[in-house]
Every structure is written in C-alpha cells, then in structure tokens.
Structure 1
Amino acid sequence: MKALYIAATGMKAQELNVEVISNNVANMRTTGYKRQRADFQDLLYENQRRMGTQTSEVGTILPNGVQIGSGVYAAATTRIMSQGTMSETGKSLDIAIRGEGFFQIQQPDGSSAYTRDGSFNRSQDGTLVNNNGYIVQPAINIPDDVRDITINNEGQVQAITPGGAVVNLGQIELARFANKAGLEAVGDNLFLESEASGPAQVGAPGVDGTGDLLQGFIEAANVDAVTELSDLIAAQRAYEMNSKIVKAADEMYSTTTNMR
C-alpha cells in the first residue's frame, strides 16, 4: 500500500510550507525583506496501464490509463520581489528605492552583496555604511563639518559647508538583475549574485529601470499578514488531511494483518 508513503510526502511538504510562512511572519518588520512562497511539484508516476496503448487487434486505443502518483516534493521557495510600502523616518541617511534596483554593499572580504535595506549611517571616519558597518558602494565620505545632507532621486549626495557652499559628496549607484528572484539570500538583509540571477548591471538611479531614491524613507517588508494567515490555515488543513490518510492506511494495514 503506497498511500502511507504518499501521505508522508504531503505532510513533509506542508511542514516546509509552514516553515516558509513562519519566516515571512517573523520578518514582517524587517526593512526591505521580500517574502517567500513554497512551490511544489508532483513526484513520478507508476503506469499500470499506459494511455494510448493498443487494446485490440483492430487498433482500438486505450483512452485513459492507470497512473499512480508517488506524492509531492518541494520544487522551490520562490522569493516575491514586489515593492514594499514606503515608511517615512525623517532621518537624512535613510534611503528607499522605488523600482528594481539594489544598493551595493562591500563585505569584509571585499566581495559585493546587494540589499534593499537603505537604513544607512556614518562610520567613525564619515564613510556611509549599513547597520553592520559594511561600506556602501561606491564609497561616500561625509565630513564632520557639513550640514543639511541631501540625496536626490538620482542618487547625488550633497551637503552644505560651514561657509554656506554646496558640495557634492558622491553618487549612489544601484544594481539590477535579469532575474532578481534568483539572488541568494545570506542573512543580514543581504543577497549575493548567482548564476540564476545573472550578473549585476550597475547604473545611476532612474536609468535603465533601476528605480529612483527617496531620502528620509525606508522600504517596509512586502509581507501581508492576512495573506500569510490564510496560507497558514490552508497549510494546516492540508497537513491534517494527509495525517488522516496515514491513519486510514494504518487501519487498513491492521485489518489485513488481523485477517483470519
């Protein structure tokens, strides 16, 4: 009897589904977080009678066969890269992206990572960094004596000197990817380029679909509590139904064992 093992794959799949949902809910307040969705596919089939086979000498064809499936498996945890809502903070170094782009971050080993989290700060030497102290690329240095830092939609960073002159401090650039859902999440709100994402295409905000910037805002997670709750209920019911099949299969085994 295969029902026991088929139902077990269903329970395992829904267990993973609940784990994905729980991670989404846990990150509802994570800046720039992009929700995930569990995608499933059916497993191989056993053909006991293959459709389309000849059933008589005169050439009649079997219109429908007998196929027994072997369950379900997790095909992917797809990341949904839709735009999150903008939350105003009023902090001059908070930046949100409206569009497809990602901020570029230099990791301690010198490699590049990418993020939608634009809650930036100044390091001890005035360099623009993220919350872990990693440098935003290209590097921008903000002197101690400047005031009224402004970042326009095109990513140009300017400030006013003590003498009242406006100075350019640098240019924020964004990276975009052919398949941004193919980026590899590594925690700390960071993504890495992968074979699936394609190489980073770097450019100024507002150019080639990278999106523009909003100073004094951050992008909230794109997690919707109602959607996650309804998905959780559906996953719970699917798990429960599979568990009932396991119980029914066990009772059938018991009946067969106790036959006299």
Structure 2
Amino acid sequence: MTSHSSHSPQFFLTAPSACPYLEGQWERKVFTHLVGDKADELNDLLTQGGFRRSQNIAYRPACETCRACVSVRILAGEFEPTKSMKRVVKRNADLVAREHAAEPSSEQYSLFRAYLDARHRTGGMSDMSVLDYAMMVEDTHVDTRIVEYRVKTPDSIATGRNDGPLVAVALSDVMGDGMSMVYSFFDPDIADRSLGTYMILDHIQRTRQRGLAHVYLGYWVKGSPKMDYKTRFQPQEHLMADGWRRPA
C-alpha cells in the first residue's frame, strides 16, 4: 500500500457522463476530499485554481475534448452596479439578510424543494431529500455560511429580529481572498424580484465589508443560456491557461 502525507491530497477522476450544459458533449471531473485541519487552506488554493466545492469534495472539469467551462470571479472592489441592478436593489429594499453558521432547517428545505420543482425538475438535484439537503449544508470542513433573506415584518426594527417569510437562501464559503457562492435558491413565485441577482449584489457588498477582493461564481459556459447572467457582473476575471485574466 502506498502511504500518503496528510498534507498531500489525493486526486481522482470520474467516469465520462453526459454534459448538463452542452448537448452532445461528455464531461469528466477531477476531485479530492476537503477534510481535516488543512481544509480551509486547501479550499482557498483549489478555488483559486478553478475548483468548486460540493460538501466535502472539491472538483473541477477535466473533459477530454472540451474546455468550455471557465471559472469566473467578480472584482468586488471595482464593481459598479448597472442601472438595472440598482433597480433590483430598490425592489428588494424590504428584505433583511441574516448570515449565520451553516445549519439547515425545514423552512430552508421547503423553499429549496419549491425552487427545484419549478426550475430544475429534471436536474441532477431534483430528487434530493431533506437529509440530502442537510448534508449539502452541514458536510463542510471549511468556513461555510448560510445567508437567509426574509421580508421585513412591522417589528423588525423595534426588536432587532426578523421572522418574516423566507424568500431566498445562499450557501457560501468565506475564504482568504473572497467569498465563494456554493449554491443559492429562492422563491420561484416571486421571480419578478430578481432574487438571484440580488443575492450576488449582496455578496459583493459582504465581500467588500470583509476587506476581501473576489466573489467566486463558479463556472461560466459560453453558449449556455443558463450561465449568461454571470457575465453581467463587471469587472470580472476568468481563469485561463496563464492564470486569472480580465476577458478581452
């Protein structure tokens, strides 16, 4: 048996499977486990190298014939919202966001289930149970946070609490150079609020408040309509063969 240092992660390669973004393409991923007292440090390093986290796994595409997936990060300090983004912020001025440790709740799962049923009924997460959801949130060895977005109630200001309806949730990692938005979901019945956009704008602000530089959005796939929204947040950098670069 070959021995391995606890400081040297082992990497594995998945078998080919149908690409969820580009028809006719096949995807493979390289992955490793994020566990132990060095998980935060490793997560920082791998995220900067184009990996994403799912529970205690860090992965990135390793497709044999395609390089369409491009890691994207927003330059939070230089970001300026567009007019339409300012309207989104104004439209959601009645929301209160509360950030806390990564702990699941039945209320979160109900919202998550409604979101999946409306937006991703045939996706890979469509059959996730409440236990699966709990694992998605809790199974982390890094600094992971939950941000809950609720509608203000009349006594929100007076009591300092907000127990209004939960309308959106973001699961995010806090890293040495920024925040990585792992997964987010929202009430599909109020799509006119543009809550997906609002959560990204809120994370840009949270990243600035922490004195950090980047908001990591995961992968952008040119030609995939479901990914187009990511390029609206400028300026941003894309991970290329020679490192992080602003797109031409």
TM-score when scaled to structure 1?
A: 0.22
More helix by share: 2
TM-score when scaled to structure 2?
A: 0.23
Larger Rg: 1
